Amino acid sequence: MIPVRGFEGARVAVLGLGRSGLTAAKALQAGGAEALCWDDNADARARAEAEGLEIHDLGKAGAFDGVAVLITSPGIPHLYPEPNKYIARAWEAGVPVDNDISLFFRSAATSEWDEFDVTPKVIAVTGSNGKSTTSALIHHVLTEVGRDSQLAGNIGRGVLDIDPPGDGGVVVLELSSYQTELARAMTPDVAVFTNLSPDHLDRHGGMGGYFAAKRRLFAEGGPDRAVIGVDEAEGQFLSNQMSEGNGDDRLIRVSSGQKLAGPGWNVFARKGFLSEYRKGRQVGSIDLREVKGLPGAHNHQNACAAYAAVRTLGIAPRVIEKAFHSFGGLPHRSQLVTESDGVRFINDSKATNADAAAKALAAFKNIRWICGGLEKEGGIGAVNAHLGNVTKAYVIGREAAQFALQLGDTPLEVCTTMAEAVAKAAEEAEQGDTVLLAPAAASFDQYDSFEKRGEDFIACVQATLG
């Protein structure tokens, strides 16, 4: 655990007692603060109290008297679609609102770092799609080459739950827009922006607010190096703002599908080959086509971003390539479940929006597509360009019939349940087909999380195939 510094003897309120909230409260206590904890859920309060934490009703009169700061969990909205009532009360009381990401950046560096031969580094990854795979791939490469690496944030452990980084250690953080939009302190050594597509628009008041939340990692953080995907206008804008000119090698531009030219530092993938260019000359390349853990153009973009991030640490291209080949991928992200009689079953339950699903559809041919769920704002129009790869769609979810109406002339069947969809797809699949779960929707109409949805898909595949 990383004890929180700067609040010794202070009263600090903690709102939300899930993973991040509980860890933040304990880390505050470890640093000498008085953690005052609250959650509207009685079970969550009971769990916190059982772990020795003090429960403090933030709804009572005077609840914020003497409180130095309110630490809120990422899932709690503080502005859109409307402010949480406790956060609004903190504003009224003049109490600053912050989160655990900020506490990490305030507390990770200590005087012990002065004695290290190699100063620890923090690599922070954000973006709409691919940030989990990119973060995990960076961590995997570092681990494979013998660097002390820890993976935390929106993946792995809570940021304050990790061990203090040692000599030469690297902390890899996946950061969601919910985390970056509020943190008052963000100072990564390397910041990575994968891409941007519509998501969480209600939480951020629209696309502009969503991008602004991501941009804060760079604008507020001032990283030593910025790795930025430039396949969308927002990435181009951000890379332009971060650069002082064409030769500024503090910026690494990343792309999947287009060759990047110019005297700067560029990493891109085309036709399955990753290329690194510096000052107009190629200095590295990797054939990604046989890297089984990174199928499809969207994963090639993730590979480029991860490659660029670890290159800033001086790791050689050939060493990175070897580590890529031992990367098994992440559960629920283009995960190969099994192959039977020439039919592949792929679990991409993490494709919770249309853009992510479109990338999955582009990665395979002859797809029997299991899709549907709780549709997000913006619809599913992004998948239209790739419906030619779909042999048939099998639509699940409580609103399956409405979802199906948006698929045009694509052959489809409304199945509603995962079990029925998997059974039908497996029965009708032919050699060379791919049965792909890429829902293009959230899971919450039928499942507690996309992980639960993916686990159900795996269980149904196993039950169907025997």
**Is 133 labelled as part of a ligand binding site?**
yes
Q: Which two tokens stand for residue 49?
A: 């109290």
Q: How far is CA 69 from CA 94, 122, 270, in A?
A: 9, 25, 48
Residues written for the chain: 466
Closest CA to 222 of 195, 192, 238, 242: 242
**Is 130 labelled as part of a ligand binding site?**
yes
What is the Cα 91 distance to its own chain's centre?
29
Q: Does the bond joining 81 to the residue before it have cis omega, within 30 degrees of 0?
A: yes
Q: Judge whether 179 and 287 are in contact, CB under 8 Å.
A: no
**Is 334 labelled as part of a ligand binding site?**
no
How do 251-256 and 273-278 pair as beta strands?
unpaired
Q: How far is CA 448 from CA 8, 361, 388, 443, in A?
A: 38, 24, 31, 7
Helices 131-144, 296-311: inter-axial angle, 10-degree rounding = 50
Closest CA to 350 of 179, 159, 166, 155: 155
**Is 391 labelled as part of a ligand binding site?**
no
Q: Give φ, ψ of 432 to 5 degrees.
A: 95, -10
**Is 359 labelled as part of a ligand binding site?**
no
Residue 8, SS3? coil
Question: At CA 133, angle to CA 128 and CA 135, rounded to 5?
Answer: 90
**Is 153 labelled as part of a ligand binding site?**
no
Q: Judge whether 272 and 292 are in contact, CB under 8 Å.
A: no
**Is 131 labelled as part of a ligand binding site?**
yes
d(CA 463, CA 448): 21
Sequential DSSP letters for 59-75: TSTTTTTTEEEEEE-TT
**Three-state secondary structure readout of 228-293:** EECCCHHHHHHHHHHCCCCCCCCEEEEEECCCCCCCCEEEEEECCEEEEEECCEEEEEEECCCCCC
Sequential DSSP letters for 175-241: --HHHHTT-S----SEEEE----S-SHHHHTSHHHHHHHHHHHHHTT--SEEEEE-SSHHHHHHHHH
Q: What residue numbers does the annotated binding site for ATP cover? A: 127-133
Q: What residue numbers does the annotated binding site cover? A: 127-133
